[in-house]
Structure 1
């Protein structure tokens, strides 16, 4: 919890003020039974009206002090807690953005969402309640005991006889609560994961009529959350009855022996009333302990989960914001005996891959699903780090490049087109926020999407739905390509990014891209596309099994000839079908 609550340090003065006001309010509450005792003994029993009026007015004035202290305390407590929650959520989000992909994949997406939402809210509320009432309850118990000894030490002993039991009982329940509520938060992660998967795949679920199955799957994980929450809450519900049972026994002892002391002259009536008053205040404070332990247990479990993110700094990406001018060097690319395997998995995804692409050349990358094509592309901008070997961009090893400069020199179009909620113009400028409108339009023309945008009622101001839901697959791919072109990259990476385009549009796209000075790496399954490349890299199970021009591979590679022949047969069959 230390790391998490360190984000409250900037708000130490609002916290100090809130604590001072809480202590002032508490002091008034602890003094009142003494004043009541004085009014009873020196006023009512002595029939002294002046004492009654004097101390009555003092009690009223103190009540107003406590009232206004509580209001101002709430203001400062809310300010400190909300600001702390804001800073903590910002820190978590920045930390996630700084993760390398290897670190990011350690956490399920649903778990990160839970940490940034409900876990932050949990500790934020605990800070607020701590400054408002949670710290006040134990202090009220301790203060009431001390004041009870001040009033009458003999009667106060009956109040503390159950203290050892209560201390060990509360300690035990707090430890158990942390374990139970950590499990509850993990269950909540799983519920969020199922919800996320379901909402992302809603079209597929409807198309396959799998709504009933998905509802059943959600019901199972939600039921596990319900059961664990019920178990945790039942455990916590034992606290209040146990506390009240012990306190009621103590209160009965005070009344019984107090009456004897008053009768024998060992105590005054006002003292007995004050002790009983303190006992009632302690009982009221103990009724808050169940809530406090539940809140503390959940906050501790949440803070430990957030701390996992905040201290996961063994593999953070460091972005140097100062440009070194390296991106001006061009787009020459060279792999030398590069191997890669995911952490914890001994099987290599890439095995001793070597090739060279000169600046301005176009390399087509082919291979079966799972052959390592996308992984190879991810190593260039260091989304993943090569396990062995070296990768050079413009003759400089990628590890020697400042990460910002390296990625600024690359335009990446991923296999799955990702668009953000906002206008088309905003999505295009996401590639370069300083790009002018005419530059965005020029990139859209090269990507063969300008004419489609022009047909929209609001043109470039057209809103893109979540993940581009209101656009076709081909439109999303072309917008993604345009966004990459806006960057004016030295290396343009297209990871199977033209699969949804028709032949005519794709050919027009390649013709437009021929004028680009960028080195192009194109993952494709189409021989027709590969033929237009300067070189072709053929992968099979992570190894290079062919490298050269189309003509070279037709002579040297049986696998490449097999792919070419199968696609030729498909095209002939398709043409025959069209003619018929």
Structure 2
């Protein structure tokens, strides 16, 4: 947790003022019992009303100052902790944005969400408490002991006996509860994962009538978390009764032995009352420490999880001085003996791939499921780095480009169309923020989306639901294509982006794209032969290797894998 305190640095003056105010408040609280003892000993016993009023006024003033200091300290502590949480969340989010897909695979999306929200909230809450208690608890404890000794050193033996017993009880209870608090964060991750999968996949869940199964899966994760939370809180719940028992037993002992000392003339009544209050302050400070003790383990577990994210260095980083020297071949994409494997995989997903996709040409990639088509195009915008060989864009190894410069040259349409909450125009401008209305309308027209957009009440200003849930699959794909078109990149990558389109729309869209992307490099990943047969170059993949390269006619004559794909989709008449 200490490693995260650097995010508190901008608020160090607020933290210092918080601790200073808490110090003054503690001194004020320690001074009040002393004033009260004087009222009893000097005012009530001697029947000096004027002294009672005068000292009582001082008590009211000290109490008012202590209250004001407490409010000010609480305000500053809350401001500091909230600022800490804000900066930490921002830092984690910014750091996660730099992750490659490999780091996302390692941590998991659900876990990253939990760490950015729940875990940071846990640390923020404990920090808020610590800023106030870090000074107050020790000050009240040690200050109370000193003041108690000043009133009656022999009676202080009661406190000296009570403190170790209470501290031992707190330690034993806390040490049993800590493992459960640590386990809770992992179980929250699991609950978030199940919830996220169930909600995002609600259509599939209902289509296969698996609602009850998902409810049971959620209940199991929920019950697991609840059982752990109950166990942890059951253990920690024993702390308060133990503390109250010790406080009451200590009070009885102080009153009993104090009464004997008053009878013997070694102590005054006012001093006994003050001593009792000091004892309560000491034990109350231990109670505050125990509350922190119960919260810190969970916050520490959260802090470790947050630090794991911040300590994870992205594998894909820009070189210190990106050197795209030699760039001048437009958007030409070349794979040179590329081999790539996913972390932990036994065999490569791609092996010794070599081909060139040239500007002004359409390069199509086809193959069976698991052949490595999506993996191949993911290497171009450098979502992953190759194991060996090189991927070149514009004649330069993609590792030489800065990631932002490289990706600014690419229009990527993913396999699964993803839209963001906002208007249709906002989603299209995601590809080019400064795009004019005319550019947006042109992109929509080329993407064959103008007709269905015109039928909507607000046209381009129609607000989309989260993920574009109020659109069909084909409509979402066309908007994703428009988002790439408005960018006018040098390289277009269509990762199976026509799968949800009917044949008529598919044909019209490809015809419009041919005119729009004339000078760019176009790479199309597809399952349908009809989508790729007109390409200038078709690359056939089989188990991560190139099975053939050529035009439709050439591959029909030379590539058995391509022949099988064609025969499975087209009739004899269509092939002829």
TM-score range, shorter chain: over 0.9
Distance 1:41 1:336, change over 3 A: same
Task: Give the one of 522, 525, 546 matched to 2:524.
Answer: 522
CA 571–431 in structure 1, closer or farther in 2 if over 3 Å, else same: farther
Equivalent residue, structure 1, for 2:566: 564
Q: Check the 8 A contact 2:170/2:290 in 1, yes or no.
A: no
Task: Give the CA deviation at 1:322.
Answer: 10
CA distance in 2, matches of 1:446, 1:204: 32
Residue of structure 2 equivalent to 1:576: none
Aligned to 1:542: 544
Gap change, CA 1:369 and 1:408, over 3 Å in 2 = same
Separation (CA, whole Å) in 1 of partners of 2:254 and 2:9: 44
SS in 2 for 1:460: helix
Note if contact 1:320-1:402 (Cα within 8 Å) is conserved in structure 2. Answer: no
Contact 1:244 1:287 (8 Å CA) reproduced: no
Question: Which secondary structure does the structure 2 equivalent of 1:154 belong to?
Answer: coil
Q: Which whole-Å CA distance do the structure 2 matches of 1:197 and 1:320 have between them?
A: 39
**Residue deviations 1:171-191 (CA, integer Å, cap 9, x gap):** 454454442212111111111
CA contact under 8 A between 1:334 and 1:391: conserved in structure 2?
yes
Conserved in 2, the CA contact under 8 Å of 1:236 and 1:290? no
Distance 1:79 1:326, change over 3 A: farther
SS in 2 for 1:369: coil
Instruction: Give 1:323 deviation, angstroms.
Output: 11
Residue 277 of structure 1 aligns to a residue whose secondary structure is helix
CA contact (8 A) 1:119 1:303 kept: yes
* Structure-1 separation of matches of 2:178 and 2:439: 56
Contact 1:92 1:310 (C-alpha < 8 Å) held by counterparts:
yes
The whole-number CA distance in structure 2 between the counterparts of 1:328 and 1:320 is 22
In 2, Cα distance between equivalents of 1:324 and 1:435: 27
Q: Which residue does 2:428 correspond to in 1?
A: 428
* Cα displacement (A) at 1:47: 2.3
- 1:178 touches 1:300 (CA, 8 Å); kept in 2? no
Q: Residues 121-270 of structure 1: matches in 2 within 5 Å?
A: 121-133=121-133, 136-270=136-270
Which residue of structure 1 lines up, in the alignment, with residue 381 of structure 2? 381
CA distance in 1, matches of 2:411, 2:50: 87
1:538–1:546 CA contact under 8 A, matched in 2: yes
* CA shift in 2, pair 1:353/1:246, >3 Å: same
Query: Unpaired segments of 5 or more residues in structure 2?
Result: none
Q: What is the SS of the residue equivalent to 1:161?
A: helix
For residues 319 and 482 of structure 2, the distance between their equivalents in structure 1, rounded to whole angstroms, comes to 25
**In 1, Cα distance between the equivalents of 2:77 and 2:136?**
13
Partner secondary structure for residue 106 of structure 2: coil
Change (3 A) 1:135 1:443: same
Distance 1:41 1:570 in 2: 114
Q: Residue 329 of structure 1: CA displacement?
A: 4.7
1:129-171: CA deviations, max 9, x gaps? 2234575344323321222122222211220213334444434
Which residue is 1:83 aligned to? 83
Cα pair 2:357 2:523 within 8 Å, conserved: no
1:33-74 Cα distance to aligned partner (Å, 9 max, x none): 111111111221222223212211110111111121122222
Q: Secondary structure at the match of 1:370?
A: coil
Q: Distance in 2 between matches of 1:544 and 1:213?
A: 42
Q: Does the aligned pair in 2 maintain the 1:18–1:73 contact within 8 Å?
A: yes
Residue in structure 1 matched with residue 553 of structure 2 by the alignment: 551
Q: How many residue pairs were aligned?
A: 573
Task: Please say if residues 244 and 286 of structure 1, whose CA atoms lie closer than 8 Å, have aligned partners that are also in contact.
Answer: no
Q: 1:452 to 1:572 in 2, by over 3 A?
A: same
Classify 1:428/1:571 alpha carbon distance in 2 versus 1 (closer, same or farther; 3 Å).
Answer: farther
- Give the match for residue 272 of structure 1: 272
CA contact (8 A) 1:43 1:52 kept: yes
Do the aligned partners of residues 316 and 279 (structure 1) sit closer, same or farther apart at CA in structure 2, a change above 3 Å counting? Answer: farther
Partner of 2:448: 448
Q: Which is further off, 159-168 or 433-442?
A: 159-168
Would the aligned equivalents of 1:325 and 1:405 in 2 still touch at CA under 8 Å?
no
Give the aligned partner of residue 300 of structure 2: 300
- Measured against aligned partners, the alpha-carbon deviations of 1:411-431 in whole angstroms (never above 9, x if no partner) come to 100000000010000000000
**1:514 is paired with a residue of what secondary structure?**
helix
**1:463 is matched with which residue?**
463
Compared CA separation, residues 391 and 316, structure 1 to 2 (3 A): closer
Q: Summarize the Cα distance change of 1:15–1:107 in structure 2 as closer, same or farther, 3 Å threshold.
A: same
Q: Distance in 1 between matches of 2:411 and 2:300?
A: 43
CA RMSD of aligned residues (A): 2.3
Alpha-carbon displacement from aligned partner over 1:200-247 (angstroms, at most 9, x marks no partner): 111222222221111111111100001000111112122223333334
User: Once structures 1 and 2 are overlaid, which stretch shifts more, 318-327 or 69-78?
Assistant: 318-327
Length-normalised TM-score, structure 2: 0.94
Q: What are the equivalent positions in structure 2 for 1:505-516 lying under 5 Å apart?
A: 505-515=505-515, 516=517
Deviations along 1:313-332, one digit per CA (max 9) or x if unpaired, are: 25364499999798875111
